Amino acid sequence: MKKVVALLGSKRRVNTYALLMQIKDLLAENDIDLEILELYRFQIKDCAGCTVCVSKGNCILTDDVQQIMEQMIKADGIILASPVYLQQVSGKMKTFIDRTCSWYHRPALTGKPVLCIATTKGSGLKPTLSYLENVATQWGALNAGSIGRSIFNLEKPIGKREIARFLQLLDHPESYVPTLHQLIEFEVQKSLALTLSELDRAYWDTHKWIHQPYFYPCRRTPIKRAISGSIGRLMRKRMGPKAGDRRSN
Ligand SMILES: Cc1cc2nc3c(=O)[nH]c(=O)nc-3n(C[C@H](O)[C@H](O)[C@H](O)COP(=O)(O)O)c2cc1C
């Protein structure tokens, strides 16, 4: 049985939670289990900004974040669900995301689809969902799209079509076609890994990403290949071997 983990960024079990419960039922019809992690019920300290997680691989803080990250790594798919607070994700969701900074340098969720959910009274849906989708991409995950609801359509049940892509990527992650933006982001991450730290370089080496155009074999048009490839080569040339002495972040 496949397992999906959802992170809920609301303290209440109201609008965003209700969407997750609908998705839980839809996933159950496909023999997929959904576990909802309500972030407000966990201890999630503010990032200290020390970047030790990036440079050494461990976080100096002791709380529940490591456990949540491990649950995400073990899951087959992820859902990020947040209410819109002042045009963005809730503070709790953002605080958790800040703590995953090392996943930008050493992506840990490659091959896992991420579905993004947000609810709002009326505004901020687009930037909030777009932010969550970008975070998923930076984690190296597969962007399975997003579902948003406002007061105008909050009562509209989530349709099977809205989670179809997520289901398809759960079964066939290899069918994912990265966008040009994602291919370029990969080249930037690769360039940083090759020049900033031995830890990152070894991680990328172990995962055999250094000589690949993306985290896994995928279809690319010649134009996408040419643009992302040249941006990557240019970056690595400009950064040079001495870039390894610079501090990350
Ligand atoms: C602190 C706070 C900030 C909010 N900011 C916005 C906003 O910028 N735009 C908006 O349309 N709704 C805003 N809302 C309304 C919520 O996004 C909306 O009610 C949401 O569906 C609540 O989700 P929940 O029931 O899962 O907590 C805000 C609500 C709160 C509590």
Asked if 228 and 180 count as a contact pair (C-beta separation under 8 A), the reply is yes
pLDDT of residue 247: 41
pLDDT of residue 216: 85
DSSP, collapsed to helix, strand or coil, labels residue 178 as coil
Ligand 1 centroid from CA 182, angstroms:
30
Cα separation of 73 and 25, whole Å?
Answer: 23
Ligand 1 centroid from CA 86, angstroms:
7
Residue among 20, 1, 2, 27 nearest 173 (CA): 2
Asked if 101 and 137 count as a contact pair (C-beta separation under 8 A), the reply is no
pLDDT of residue 239: 86
pLDDT of residue 241: 61
Q: Which residues sit opposite 83 in a β-bridge? A: 119
pLDDT of residue 230: 94
Q: Report strand pairing: 77-83 vs 2-8.
A: parallel
Domains of the chain in sequence order:
2-175 (3.40.50.360), 180-245 (no CATH)
Q: What is the pLDDT along the chain (249 residues), one digit of tens a residue?
A: 999 999 999 999 999 999 999 999 999 999 999 999 999 999 999 999 999 999 999 999 999 999 999 999 999 999 999 999 999 999 999 999 999 999 999 999 999 999 999 999 999 999 999 999 999 999 999 999 999 999 999 999 999 999 999 999 999 998 999 999 999 999 999 999 998 899 999 999 999 999 988 998 888 889 998 999 999 999 988 887 644 434 444
Residue among 6, 27, 38, 42 nearest 117 (CA): 6
Cα separation of 187 and 230, whole Å?
Answer: 9
User: Atom 24 (ligand 1): residue with closest C-alpha?
Assistant: 15
The CA–CA distances, whole Å, from 211 to 21, 96, 159, 186, 218 equal: 42, 32, 40, 12, 14
Token pair of 176 as six digits = 């994912």
Mutate which of 19, 22, 40, 85 for ligand 1 pocket (most atoms within 8 A of beta carbon): 85
User: Is 191 near ligand 1, meaning CB less than 6 Å away?
Assistant: no
